[in-house]
Amino acid sequence: MLNIRHLAAVRAVLRTGSISSGARMLFLTQPAVTKSIQLAEEELGVQLFTRVKGRLTPTEESRFLYGEIERIFGDMDNLQNLASEVRQGHAGRIMLATVSNLSASLVARAITNFRQRHGAVRFDLEVHSTKLVLEAVRIGQVVLGVLDLAPDVAGLDHFELCDAEIGCVMRVDHPLATAPLVTPAMLRDEMVVTFPDDTTVNTLVREAFRHAQVNCNVGITANHSYSACCLVSQGNGIGLIDPFHVATGIFPDLVIRPFAPAMRLRPTVVVAEGRTLSKIAREFVDELKLVAMTLPL
């Protein structure tokens, strides 16, 4: 039978890239980690590492098994969290991943509100690209993923929190700052700040300008809406981005105006298909819904 401690050594070295770093991660000696890896290979019947110039290198087999190893440890973490809730009443741990534009707005506010009522709950928050958030949920590294668009990915369940729209973010002293609605024609002579070419938002923005037969002068792309807001705040054109950072009030010199045609976002919670959420995780999802409905989007 596979020993979980041996598997933990394999996981630590795959994660950190070396025996020495894996040993520090597990608070073990290097010989103990090396021995555990050897025993894991015997138990699995698979070579997990090769030694090249004195350094361990993962085999293709270990890379293939890595996702399942992380899922096993994710399930173990979930079991520990459930046991903690049973033991302590309403304490526990919530591991979640999100994208940058939601991390400082929707997610940060929901965590703050939730911990005012449940101060014993620990949060482990990771901020990644959409692709990495989905992968972290899929392999069980985190329990919840929070995205700004509903994904179409097998093996995951999702449910929407609210509707939001891409808007025109500009300085409060810009001539269009009081416009009730901004169209592509009104941005004909403006430099646009938006998301990179390989994003859904960029595609929607360019399609809106194409349909209006107006040239879209994208001067800057940024993969973080916080960075985009900073750039606009410093006089670099008009942002066609999500409304989340502006909605927090952390950019008092910026306003956001509606854009037509409307380009919708749908903030979404993602969980692994069939995974049972703990009580505190379910309650935190309810908090996310509440905050999403109250943000001025």
Q: Where in the chain is the domain with CATH 1.10.10.10?
A: 4-58
Q: Which CATH class is domain 164-264?
A: alpha beta
Nearest to 256 by CA among 185, 184, 166: 166
Strands (E) across the chain are located at: 49-52, 55-58, 92-98, 121-127, 144-147, 156-160, 164-165, 167-171, 192-194, 218-221, 238-241, 254-258, 264-265, 268-272
CATH of 68-162+266-294 among 3.40.190.10, 3.30.450.20, 3.40.50.150, 3.30.420.40: 3.40.190.10
Looking at residue 89, what is its pLDDT?
47
CA-CA-CA-CA torsion sign (97, 101, 106, 112): positive
Helix (H, G, I), strand (E, B), or coil: what is residue 154? Answer: coil
Taking only the tens of pLDDT, the chain with its 297 residues reads: 788 899 999 999 999 988 999 889 999 999 999 999 999 999 999 999 998 877 888 899 998 989 899 888 888 887 777 676 656 546 678 999 999 889 888 999 999 999 998 887 889 999 998 889 999 999 889 999 999 888 888 889 998 998 889 999 999 999 999 999 999 999 999 999 999 888 888 888 999 999 999 999 999 999 888 899 999 999 999 999 999 888 888 899 999 999 999 998 889 999 998 888 888 899 999 999 999 988 776
Task: Give the model's pLDDT for residue 109.
Answer: 93
Helix (H), strand (E) at residue 91: none
pLDDT of residue 259: 96
CATH 3.40.50.1000 assigned to 4-58: no
